[in-house]
């Protein structure tokens, strides 16, 4: 079957995802992550792309890239081939490291650009790896909040911050707020979240789901009974959506652990 042609972006900006073959880890230790970032820098130094965001997870990578002198396909080929050669030589492996081709989604609007930016940086938080985005070393989030002081050669973040405010300090404050607010994702972001649950740490049973709820309630100073009040509907809806996407629980099962009706879960 011939490969489906990729959708081209009129802005030349893409959300790119690279995944390990058969869900295998593509980073086994920090040295591997350092090497991948080094490869990103090396390819970028040739003026082939601008990089707005990245996040390295154990078995997949998210990149927010803008084409420059080279098409995105050639850029990703250089990045992937360099890393695969390094990985296979180091671990004495042969064959495919990545799953199929990389996946790319065109970014056609400013709103969607900012939504994807937040989605990429929130990956470790949504996967329950960290409780605060500042704790995760392997994404570009901390480079932004550190004002890009020594990382301008890797992240082209000034144009992103300018979308929030012309004042640098104000822009960083709004950038942080944007990443912590409850964003109403577009349908294609929801689809990405559903796909990512296969790679991120998933809530596969009721016990793990209850642990997630406990941590969520501690973070937002909530109690289970609060979810029935109108003032906490946004939290209730977020929890329903998250559990539906990231667990094998039925609608009735989600309703039981949240203390709401199955009808409410079904509607959300």
- Express each pLDDT in 151-164 by its tens digit: 457 899 888 999 98
227 neighbors 220 (Cβ within 8 angstroms): no
How far apart, in whole angstroms, are the C-alpha atoms of residue 91 and residue 228? 53
CA torsion 191-197-198-203 (nearest 10°) is: -140
Amino acid 180: pLDDT: 83
**pTM of the model as a whole:** 0.67
Is residue 182 scored above 60 in pLDDT?
no
Task: Give the pLDDT mean for 102-112.
Answer: 87
How far apart, in whole angstroms, are the C-alpha atoms of residue 140 and residue 130? 15
Domains of the chain: 13-180 (3.30.70.1290), 202-267 (no CATH)
Percent of the chain predicted with pLDDT > 70: 85
How far apart, in whole angstroms, are the C-alpha atoms of residue 88 and residue 158? 36
- Furthest CA-CA distance within the chain: 57
Going by pLDDT thresholds of 50, 70 and 90, the confidence category of residue 121 is: very high
For 62, residues 6+ apart whose C-beta sits below 8 A from its C-beta are 15, 16, 17, 53, 54, 55, 119, 120, 123
Amino acid 54: pLDDT: 96
Amino acid 219: pLDDT: 84
- Look at 121 and 266; give whichever has higher pLDDT: 121
Going by pLDDT thresholds of 50, 70 and 90, the confidence category of residue 202 is: very low
Going by pLDDT thresholds of 50, 70 and 90, the confidence category of residue 37 is: very high
Token pair, residue 194, equals: 């559903």
Stretch among 60-69, 121-130, 199-208 having the lowest mean pLDDT: 199-208
How far apart, in whole angstroms, are the C-alpha atoms of residue 80 and residue 39? 9
């Amino acid at each position: 079957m011939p490969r489906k042609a990729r959708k081209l972006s009129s802005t030349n900006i893409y959300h790119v995802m690279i995944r390990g073959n058969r869900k295998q880890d593509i980073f086994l230790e920090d040295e591997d992550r350092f090497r991948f970032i080094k490869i990103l820098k090396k390819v970028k130094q040739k003026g082939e792309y601008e990089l707005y965001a990245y996040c390295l997870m154990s078995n997949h990578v998210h990149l927010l890239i803008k084409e420059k002198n080279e098409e995105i396909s050639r850029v990703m080929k250089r990045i992937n081939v360099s890393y695969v050669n390094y990985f296979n030589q180091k671990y004495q492996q042969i064959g495919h490291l990545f799953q199929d081709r990389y996946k790319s989604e065109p970014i056609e609007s400013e709103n969607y650009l900012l939504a994807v930016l937040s989605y990429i940086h929130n990956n470790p938080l949504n996967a329950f790896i960290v409780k605060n985005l500042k704790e995760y070393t392997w994404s570009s989030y901390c480079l932004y909040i550190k004002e890009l002081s020594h990382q301008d050669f890797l992240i082209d973040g000034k144009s992103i911050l300018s979308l929030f405010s012309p004042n640098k300090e104000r822009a960083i404050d709004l950038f942080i707020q944007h990443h912590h607010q409850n964003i109403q994702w577009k349908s294609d972001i929801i689809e990405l979240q559903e796909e990512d649950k296969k790679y991120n740490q998933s809530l596969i049973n009721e016990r793990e789901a209850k642990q997630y709820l406990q941590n969520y309630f501690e973070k937002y100073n909530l109690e289970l009974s609060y979810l029935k009040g109108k003032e906490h509907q946004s939290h209730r809806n977020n929890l329903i959506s998250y559990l539906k996407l990231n667990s094998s629980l039925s609608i009735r099962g989600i309703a039981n652990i949240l203390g709401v009706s199955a009808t409410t879960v079904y509607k959300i």
